[in-house]
Structure 1
Amino acid sequence: MATGIGRRRLLATLGGAAATAGPAAARAQPPGRTARIGFLYPGVARVAAVRIAALRDGLRAGGYREADRVDVVVHASEGDPAKLAALAADLVARKPDAIVAASPAAVRAARSATSVEPIVAIDLESDPVAAGFVASLAHPGGNVTGVFSDFPDFGTKWLELLKEAIPGLSRAVILWDPATGATQLNAVEAAGRSLKVGLEVVKVRAIDELGRAFETAAERRPDAVVILSSPIFGTNPKLIADLTLAHHVPTATLFSEIARAGGLMSYGPNLLGTFRQTGTLLGRILQGARPADLPVERPTTFEMVVNLKTAKALGLTLPAAVVARADEVVE
């Protein structure tokens, strides 16, 4: 069973809203009118429902009274990033009141499709300024705002946790989606040098490459596998957990859903909490705020999950100190 053992919170404070105008006009919803939201999602449609429910929770928390009536049009690429541009164009053609874009690739596709409709991003991989999505964190200045997380320290944390859990750790394979950019990869490679862990990188560009990626990783006989953040991985927790156990490799990742499903451990933002946070921003836009005036936010709730059932299946005994720091333990 899963046991709660506390919670970590990180509060990020950004500058106040800008007073300057942006290209996306304020568009408060008239009473009784049903808002239409486009949801551009790089993963599989079947797991989108729980994320949309979290968005609605965020809308309610932000005071948007019509949260239950919002019409959410889901366009999911089913793990094929090549489909995102056409999906984004179709959403724009439907004249949505706003578009929620999940992942760097989805944000890029939405921005290419429109400079008018508000875009609310949920992007756990990008620096939004460096990526060109916004002018600055406090003053986005265009039609994009949202919740972004490019914390490179996670790469160090995953390797540190694995090193503590597996004292003899000397070699690890990194699963990396090139579409997310190099920030995470650079950070984990620096951590590998610091911790004296040899790293090999396996690229994964689509969901249908996951099986072969794990086969390649297992062939290299690593002590562990680090799964970097990407919607390709985050939307397929059960598949990744099954591959973890089938190839008998310990894994560390950002996504708690993977650890709960059978991965070894995770540390990162609470994913559904981040969707709720995104929903609150979305609600402000539906009530008339402009993305140009809404500061970019960072995730505020973080969690660590360890799976003792998986550890046992892999023949590992996790140190008590690692287990004690977890917010959730799956037994």
Structure 2
Amino acid sequence: MQIGQLLRPLGTTSIVMGLAMLMSADSCQTPASPSIAYIGSWPEASDPVYKRFTAALSRRHPELSVKASIRHHQADAGNIVAIDKALKAALEGRPTVVVTPTGQSAMRAAKLPSPTPFVFSGYTDPVAAGIRDSLQFSASANTGVSLLDVVDGKRLEILKDAFPHIRRVAVLADRSWAEKNGGSARLTQPAHLLGLEVTVFLAESKVELDQQLAAPVATGYDAWYIPPSYIAYVAEPEIIDHLRRLKVPAMHSTAREVRAGALMAYEQDTSFVMDALADLVARVCDGERPGGIPVERPHRFTLILRANGDSGSPRPDAAVIRRADIVIR
């Protein structure tokens, strides 16, 4: 009787403990091989960014590239409904990590209640966009690469060094750069320190661009600064043609613009992005907490300029030409 009384509670306890252990083991179990969900802006077969990412993963982490399953989910860039749908489909597959290679997809992923970690890249400020609460260490289940361009002050400094006589500088950008990305505010202090008077002209289309640069007021400036913005990208040839006609120096933000005929640019090097994304994905797949991985930023910059006078503007100061990383003669 005493033995039976001892066995009954012991048997119940063993069953409960066994179930608890099974549930614990099931909840902690990880897939035999990691799975990666990728939110792409083009169809998988023609997505150039996805191809560069998978190539970087294969090159830098061949074992992970072989054993991991990678699934591409298409969502047109800027289409929030499509991005949300792609993220939902990705999370239904219970991936180890989600890759969001644009600022918009990263912002949408950050709004989801899912604990699934994601690795992002984009030109947005991760903190201001609500993606992460700190660039260093965060409670958020994500990490990534921020390409937010904040070297406007440095570009003004180089422009002033190249043309010491300038005083009045016009800036051509769009509202997203000026307001959402804080571009106008970033120019205030460096312009004051350099003794420059800066005026910002906003254009959202090629029509508005032509109106701004063809207006008589456009001829009243010593130099122009064309920061990285959507209008600078879509209207690159038109901007270069207008500045050539105005025959004043201008600072741009990409080597591509200089090769297309612009005078000079100070460009942040973004060639590291795919390698960085691959490395971050590998670290998360290895079990590292993404919030404990600092966000990566560009750390190399290139000064490229024309010294042959064919940009329509005066020749830059000789000391700045000597400082340049790339000189087109």
TM score, norm. by length of structure 1: 0.70
- Compared CA separation, residues 59 and 241, structure 1 to 2 (3 A): farther
Larger Rg: 2
- Compared CA separation, residues 176 and 234, structure 1 to 2 (3 A): closer
Which residue pairs with 2:239 in the alignment?
A: 243
CA distance in 1, matches of 2:36, 2:105: 21
2:87 to 87, 92, 101: 92
TM-superposed deviation, 1:190: 2.0
Structure 1 stretch displaced more, 251-260 or 184-193: 251-260
CA distance in 1, matches of 2:76, 2:29: 26
Which residue pairs with 1:196 in the alignment?
A: 195
CA contact under 8 A between 2:119 and 2:277: conserved in structure 1?
yes
Match for 1:317: what amino acid?
A: R
Which residue pairs with 2:21 in the alignment?
A: none
CA contact under 8 A between 2:307 and 2:316: conserved in structure 1?
yes
Match for 2:241: what amino acid?
A: L
TM-superposed deviation, 1:272: 2.2
Question: Which consecutive unaligned segments of at least 5 residues does structure 1 have?
Answer: 1-24, 78-82
RMSD of Structure 2 on Structure 1 (CA): 3.6
- Compared CA separation, residues 167 and 300, structure 1 to 2 (3 A): closer
Match for 1:201: what amino acid?
A: V
CA distance in 2, matches of 1:241, 1:214: 12
Q: Secondary structure at the match of 1:139?
A: coil
Q: Secondary structure at the match of 2:144?
A: strand
Which residue pairs with 1:284 in the alignment?
A: 283
Alignment length (residue pairs): 286
Match for 1:243: what amino acid?
A: I
TM score, norm. by length of structure 2: 0.70
Which residue pairs with 2:172 in the alignment?
A: 175
Which residue pairs with 1:302 in the alignment?
A: 301
TM-superposed deviation, 1:89: 0.8
Match for 1:251: what amino acid?
A: A
Higher relative contact order (CA 8 A, sep 6+): 1
Which residue pairs with 1:161 in the alignment?
A: 158
Structure 1 stretch displaced more, 88-97 or 113-122: 113-122
CA distance in 1, matches of 2:32, 2:167: 60
Which residue pairs with 1:252 in the alignment?
A: 251
- Compared CA separation, residues 36 and 149, structure 1 to 2 (3 A): closer
Q: Which has more helix, going by share of residues?
A: 2
CA distance in 2, matches of 1:281, 1:71: 17
Which residue pairs with 2:314 in the alignment?
A: 316
Question: Which consecutive unaligned segments of at least 5 residues does structure 2 have?
Answer: 1-26
- Compared CA separation, residues 64 and 175, structure 1 to 2 (3 A): farther
TM-superposed deviation, 1:240: 1.0
CA contact under 8 A between 2:261 and 2:311: conserved in structure 1?
no
TM-superposed deviation, 1:265: 2.0
Percent of pairs identical after alignment?
20
Which residue pairs with 2:208 in the alignment?
A: 212
